[in-house]
Amino acid sequence: MKILYMHTTALDKCKANVLQVLHMCHAFSKLGHEVILSVPQGHSPVAPESLVRSRLGIEEIMFKIKTYEMRSFFGRLKALFCIRPCLKLAIEIESDFIFLRNDILLLFLARAGYNIVFESHYYYISNKIKKVFYSLIEYLVIKVSKLENLKTFISISHNLRRYWLKKGVSPDKIMVAHDGVDLGMFDNASDRNASRKSLELPPDRKIVVYAGSLSSDRNIMQILKLAEEMKEVLFLIIGGASIRDMKNDKSESLSSQKNVIFTGYLPQIEVARYLLSADVLLMLWSKYVPTLKYCSPLKLFEYMAAGRIIVGHRLPSINEVIHDGEHAFLVDPDSFEDLREALIKALDEGYPCQMALKVKELVKQYTWDVRAENIIKYYT
């Protein structure tokens, strides 16, 4: 089949959604489908193909990339300015179906009669500031979902599926497809010492790694508090800004904390090496994350693929994939004491332990290839 995948974020943006889109295009291509990815032009002088090779860690790109000029209204309403070039491209490329993640594009392309596969990643009225606008968009999405040419409505979690079913999306159209992982990045998961040696990390010290956003709704301060109490443990914080860029009044004192290392943003391949160097992987959120109940974080599946002990917050969408005591140590997001006790327990586990081995086996069900294959099966 010929698949036209339309996304509204440029490839040079360091966003999880860009990675997810690239992995899915690659996975569809590996299944033998002709894939064309449509994205706005970025600001990087690097060619789109080079960006893809770098982000995915691959030599050969099996899908085509079409870019168009990104416009906006003082940096806003970017999705609206994507409509015209995307409609033009849809006419030029006679695809079997168009794959979309953006609700604004969905409203126009579905009404234009194209076969659509739509992937929903959140629910709209969670944004209180724009509640009226998003409620309207949600209403229109539900109306469009009833069109015959909207073939598949993908939800990234069972909880999100239940939400859309209550709103009126047909159960015959909606499928659940959690996000996934590229297991190829974790081929050497059994060799922790090799990863530490390549990163010049101490071979005999307990190491705890957090990878992800450093935004205020990720409870990063809890990691720093843990580090204060566990001086013998080395904490690595991967991603987001460096400590110099953190906008809080404690950044100066935190930067001198000797058992905490902030790396700043790293390519996904490099992140994998740090995950493999760890004894324990921390997976933190807070109740202020707007998509808390409905998300399917890429971080979860990368942690699982690393084959290390996971200590994280117990969330509905996380519990759809892993369970406390069986695959990980999961605690209430509001309890620092529970988090500390879980981390102490995890650090006392031997390496490798049954829990880590079990979660590494489970993640084989959540690769990008499996996800792409399931979507195609549902569509056909």
Domain annotation for the chain: domains and CATH numbers: 2-179+367-379 (3.40.50.2000), 183-365 (3.40.50.2000)
Task: Write 88-93 long-range contacts (CB < 8 A, 24+).
Answer: 89/4, 89/6, 89/38, 90/4, 90/6, 90/114, 93/2, 93/4, 93/36
Read off the pLDDT of each residue in 335-340 and give the average, rounded to a whole number: 96
Q: Is the pLDDT of residue 69 over 90?
A: no
* Residue ranges with strand state E in the chain: 2-6, 34-40, 64-68, 97-100, 116-120, 150-155, 174-176, 207-211, 234-238, 260-264, 280-283, 309-313, 329-331
In this prediction the pTM is 0.90
Output 291 or 80, whichever has higher pLDDT: 80
What's the confidence (pLDDT) of residue 321? 96
**Which residues have a Cβ under 8 Å from the Cβ of 337 and sit 6 or more positions away?**
none
Give Cα separations from 216 to 47, 156, 289 (angstroms). Answer: 33, 24, 9
Q: Comparing C-alpha atoms, which of 26, 27, 22, 3 is closest to residue 11?
A: 22
| % of the chain at pLDDT higher than 90 | 69
pLDDT in tens, 150-183: 999 999 999 999 999 999 999 999 999 999 999 9
Read off the pLDDT of each residue in 257-266 and give the average, rounded to a whole number: 90
Q: Is the pLDDT of residue 250 over 60?
A: no
What's the confidence (pLDDT) of residue 63? 98
What's the confidence (pLDDT) of residue 73? 60
Give Cα separations from 106 to 69, 83, 207, 250, 377 (angstroms). Answer: 20, 10, 45, 44, 21
Read off the pLDDT of each residue in 319-325 and give the average, rounded to a whole number: 95
Read off the pLDDT of each residue in 279-297 and give the average, rounded to a whole number: 81
pLDDT in tens, 182-241: 999 898 666 788 999 999 999 999 999 999 888 766 678 899 999 999 999 999 999 875
